A and B are shown apart, each in its own frame.
Chain A
Amino acid sequence: MSRYLAATETDARPAPDRRRTLRQILIEDFFYGPGAILCTLLLCALLAIAAWKLLDWALLDAVFGPTETLDASQACRAEDTEGACWAVIGDKLRLILFGLYPYDLQWRPGLACVLMIALYALSVQRALWRPALAGIWVVFLVAVLILMRGGIAGLEPVGDDQWGGLPVTLILSTFGLGLAFPVAIALALARQQRRFPMLQAASVGVIEFARAVPLVVVLFMASVMLPLFLPADWQVSKLLRVLIAFTLFGAAYLAEVIRGGLQAIPPGQYEAASALSLTYAQSMRDVILPQALRIVIPGIVNIFIGFFKATAIVVVVGIFDLMTAAKRAVADPLWQGFGIEVYLFAGLIYFVFCFSLSRFSARLERDLARDRAS
């Protein structure tokens, strides 16, 4: 037997050096063939020109504020300025961020925004993914409502027709998602079960209707039709009507994501639950939903990103969100024609939120895949 065994011990060798020199990187990744050389050089030239033009417009030639002789908007309109007019952002910052909220009280929407951002930061911590998270959401959202509405704790009441800007965008997406979540679970369960065909048909109808019709039409329905459906003496504010539309619309999309999670649970889990003679409610609450929701969290985050971007559409029914605030800033005769700067600024705010959420979602998907594999 000993013939097959090595007689001498082999020394352990270090792992091969995978680092490449700069020259190797350049040749292997940028200049590996005639086509690649052409492509790289062409792209370099194009990017350099674009970067230079952008720098010129956005910084070198830009107007940031009033000069010695001219006030800010005159400086932007002067004959020799070709660049961006960032002065409009400086002048309209409070309008874009907080809309028409009483100027002296704008610390309240500011604090509400901070609270909602903190809520997101808490919700993305995996250590906090437990039922108590729902409680945290309720506490934060009630605090946000109190800050915005006032009327108690010595805060001056402010009607929701005066709310505006970033807090409205955050409120629509956060409250919309928070309220849509239970509705979505109900819709998904109703669609998934087989015992009540009528309920199932109703759920399919709601989901498919909301997914086939554009949000603009749903919002018009909420603002034009909902008042007709309710008795004349019921006063439902415009913001609340839009929030209801948002909730139902979002619930339909969310329900499909959750249904995907329900379908991914192996049938053995359902069978094990009924073998333990758990009731339907118990087996869903304690066995199926905790697993299903965990799987679909990346999907839920993606829905939320879509939701967050979709709130901009409320501009068509006249709700004062970030997008409407940007439009209103441009509508000021003093600043007419500087839409590009204002929309870029508003776009940047949306980008910061959506990009960080999508990074989080991508990392989460990777982590969950790794956990499942191990």
Chain B
Amino acid sequence: MAMAKLPSRWRTAGAQALVFALVGLSLMWIFAVTGAELRSRGIETGFAFLTEPARTALANAPFAFTAGEDSNALALLAGAVNTLKISALVIVLASLLGLGLGLGRLSRNRLLRGTCLFYIEMVRNVPVLIHISLCYALVLALPAPRESQPVLGMLVTNRGLFLPTPTAEPLWLISGASGIVTCLILLAIRRRGGGWMAGNLVLTLLTIAAMALPWLLSGRSPAMSVPQIAGFRVNGGLSLSPELAAIVVALTLYTATFLAEIIRGAIQSVPRGQWEATMALALPGGTVRRSVIYPQAIRVALPAMSNEYIGVIKNSSLAVVIGYQEIVGIGNTVLFDTGQAVEVMAVLAGFFIVVSLGFSGLMNLINARLSWGDR
């Protein structure tokens, strides 16, 4: 009863001090135990290992990396670049596939609707790890480079995916510039309104024509580096290793199903009155969707979609299962080479926290730009 007579402010402060002391004591105990444990194993604590040379070579380094010369920090940086590479590819590809699936789920065509629903239910109820292992097994079951036939200049083999790429050629710069300028001029005309305006199809065709013009004038065919089979190897073009191809394809197929459901829900959340209002104004279908429905749907979808995108960044760490060296895989290697468990885990956790928070900050910014404010 003596407790009850104290002013509640003091009781609150007392309780807080108690919690704080308990947490502090258990942390101190953990530090003491850990320190003793590490000393008994002969491990120096601290981040000095980051500047020491890495002992193990990297399989998929995005830049030149020599084991024994370059530091552990550089190895982890290579892993971070690979993580972001996977994430960026998956976010772009999954958004496109997810948009297609989401719109397909809303189609009037029952066959299309059913096919999309079937795909979504089949894929999203299976762990992403099964998809990754399955994709990897599928890639390894593809024909060897010698036995594969190029499709549109692409090679799909058990040594990875090979895509044709433009070569470094000054004419590409002129071609790109002419395309961009043409596109911008046409858009400006369209924005001014009145008189002649280019539709989407005409705009695309004219832009492509403007890009082709420099090549036609110079009388050469566009300079591309097409993958060529040379014995057991493939030369030229852009190559994706089997591991990278498997993880990107699997994460794309999996993430797209969640994005599709978000997009479908967002479009369905636009009140029916909005559709009816556009009908009352006799707006054509394309205009309705572009300027009335989608702008409202995107504002609903964006927060959920940015959660999915952060999920992609976190899921990219599952590449460790098929041996693709992203930051968690390399962190593991560094951990086994140096024994600095606590520090390596701190680096990994710190990386993901910074990337997650940074990404959600970016999405909040976009969200704020898009939102109409409180009404």
* A residues lining the B interface (CB < 8 Å): 29-30, 32, 36, 39-40, 43-44, 47, 195-199, 202, 209, 211-217, 220-221, 224-225, 227-232, 305, 309-313, 315-316, 323, 326-327, 330, 337, 339-340, 343-344, 346-347, 350-351, 354-355, 358
Shortest Cβ gap from A370 to chain B (Å): 18
Q: Are A220 and B34 in contact (CB under 8 A)?
A: no
Instruction: Give the complex CA separation of A337 and B30 in angstroms.
Output: 46
Chain B residue nearest in CB terms to A355: B125
How far, in Å, is A366 (CB) from chain B's closest CB?
14
Segment of B89-97, B202-210, B275-283, B351-359 engaged in the interface with chain A: B351-359
Contact A350 B125 (CB under 8 A): yes
A328 to chain B, nearest CB (A): 12
**B355 CB, nearest partner CB in chain A, Å:** 8
- Whether the Cβ atoms of A316 and B130 lie closer than 8 Å is no
Give the residue of B33, B125, B129, B320 whose beta carbon is less than 8 angstroms from that of A229.
B33
**B23, A202: Cβ atoms closer than 8 Å:** yes
Complex Cα distance, B318 from A215, in Å, reads: 9
Encode contact with A along B111-155: 1 for CB under 8 Å, 0 otherwise: 110010000011001111110011011101100000000000000
Binds A, one of B53-61, B162-170, B266-274, B341-349: B341-349
- Take A202-B23, A217-B349, A312-B130 as given contacts and tell me if A196 and B108 are in contact as well, using a CB distance cutoff of 8 Å: no
B315 adjacent to chain A (CB < 8 Å): yes
Residues of B within 8 A of A316 (CB): 320-321
Assess the A198–B19 pair: CB atoms within 8 A.
yes
Let me know if A344 and B134 touch, CB within 8 A. yes
Identify which of B34, B133, B134, B314 gathers the most chain A CB atoms within 10 Å of its CB.
B133
Complex Cα gap A216–B317 (Å): 7
- B126/A351 in contact, CB under 8 A: yes
Q: Which residues does chain A contribute within 8 Å of B81, judged by CB atoms?
A: none
The answer on a CB contact under 8 Å between B137 and A339 is yes
Choice from B19, B128, B141, B328 contacting A340 with Cβ under 8 Å: B141
* Extra pairs beyond A29-B109, A225-B342 (9, CB < 8 Å): A212-B356, A225-B341, A228-B37, A229-B30, A231-B33, A312-B129, A343-B130, A347-B126, A354-B125
24 sample A-B contacts, Cβ–Cβ < 8 Å, listed by A number? A39-B109, A40-B112, A44-B111, A196-B15, A198-B20, A213-B352, A214-B315, A216-B320, A217-B317, A217-B349, A217-B352, A228-B34, A228-B37, A228-B38, A229-B33, A232-B37, A310-B127, A312-B129, A312-B130, A313-B318, A323-B133, A343-B137, A350-B127, A351-B126
Residues of B within 8 A of A209 (CB): 349, 353
Question: Per DSSP, are chain B's interface residues mostly helix, strand or loop, or mixed?
Answer: helix
Which listed residue, A32, A40, A196, A350, touches B126 by the CB 8 Å rule?
Answer: A350
**Number of B residues with CB within 8 Å of any CB on chain A:** 51
- Interfacial chain A residues near B19, Cβ < 8 Å: 196, 198-199, 202
Q: Is the CB of B141 within 8 A of A224?
A: no
Chain B residues near A195 (CB-CB < 8 A): 12
Residue among A198, A323, A354 making CB contact with B16, cutoff 8 Å: A198
Residue from A217, A228, A339, A343 within 8 A of B348 (CB atoms)? A217
Residues of chain A within 8 A (CB-CB) of B345 are: 217, 220-221, 224-225
Q: Distance (Å) between the CB of B140 and the closest chain A CB?
A: 8
A340 and B20 contact, CB distance less than 8 A: no
Most buried by B among A40, A214, A347: A214
Does residue B190 face the partner (Cβ distance < 8 Å to A)?
no
Compute how far the CA of A32 lies from the CA of B108 in the bound complex, rounded to whole angstroms: 9
In the assembly, what is the distance between CA of A277 and CA of B38, in Å?
A: 53
Q: Which residues of A contact B357 (CB under 8 A)?
A: 212
Q: Are A40 and B320 in contact (CB under 8 A)?
A: no
Contact of B241 with A by CB under 8 A: no
Cβ–Cβ contact B33 & A43, under 8 A: no
* Complex CA distance for A72 and B89, rounded to whole angstroms: 41
Question: Which A residues touch B38, using CB under 8 A?
Answer: 228
B332 on the A face (CB < 8 A): yes
Beta-carbon contact of B353 and A213 below 8 Å: yes
Cross-chain contact of A346 among B16, B30, B110, B130 (Cβ < 8 A)? B130
Q: Does B335 contact A (CB under 8 A)?
A: yes
Determine whether the beta carbon of A214 is less than 8 Å from that of B317. yes
Does B40 belong to the interface (CB within 8 Å)?
yes
Chain B residues with CB below 8 A from A323, complex form: 127, 129-130, 133
A214 to chain B: closest residue by CB? B314
Cβ of B335: which chain A residues have Cβ within 8 Å of it? 224
Q: CA A347 – CA B349 in complex, angstroms?
A: 30
In the complex, the 9 A-B pairs of residues with the closest C-beta atoms, listed nearest first:
A339-B137, A354-B125, A214-B314, A312-B127, A309-B127, A29-B110, A312-B129, A212-B356, A347-B130
Q: Give A20 Cβ to nearest chain B Cβ, in Å.
A: 12
A309 contact set on B, CB distance < 8 A: 125-128
Tell me which residues across on chain A come within 8 A of B109, comparing CB atoms. 29-30, 32, 36, 39-40
| Distance to closest chain A CB from B225 (angstroms) | 32
Smallest beta-carbon distance A338→chain B, Å:
9
Q: Is the CB of A36 within 8 A of B108?
A: yes
Smallest CB separation, A235 vs chain B (Å): 14
Please give, as numbers and ranges, the residues of chain A lying within 8 Å of B23 by CB-CB distance: 202
* Cα-based distance from A199 to B19 in the complex (angstroms): 7
B363 CB to nearest A CB, Å: 14
Pick from B15, B108, B141, B342: contact of A228, CB below 8 A. B342
A176 to B317 alpha-carbon distance, docked (Å): 22
CA distance A197 to B17 in the complex (A): 11
| Chain B, Cβ-Cβ closest to A232 | B37
Given A196-B15, A230-B33, decide whether A327 and B133 contact each other with a Cβ distance below 8 A: yes
In chain B between 44 and 75, which residues have their CB closer than 8 angstroms to a CB of chain A? none
Task: Report the minimal beta-carbon distance from B206 to chain A, rounded to whole angstroms.
Answer: 24
Q: How far is the CB of A198 from chain B (nearest CB, A)?
A: 5
Complex contacts, A221 vs chain B, CB 8 Å: 345, 349
Distance between A253 CB and nearest chain B CB, rounded to angstroms = 11
- A40 contacts which chain B residues (CB < 8 A)? 109, 111-112
A196 & B130 in contact (Cβ 8 Å cutoff): no
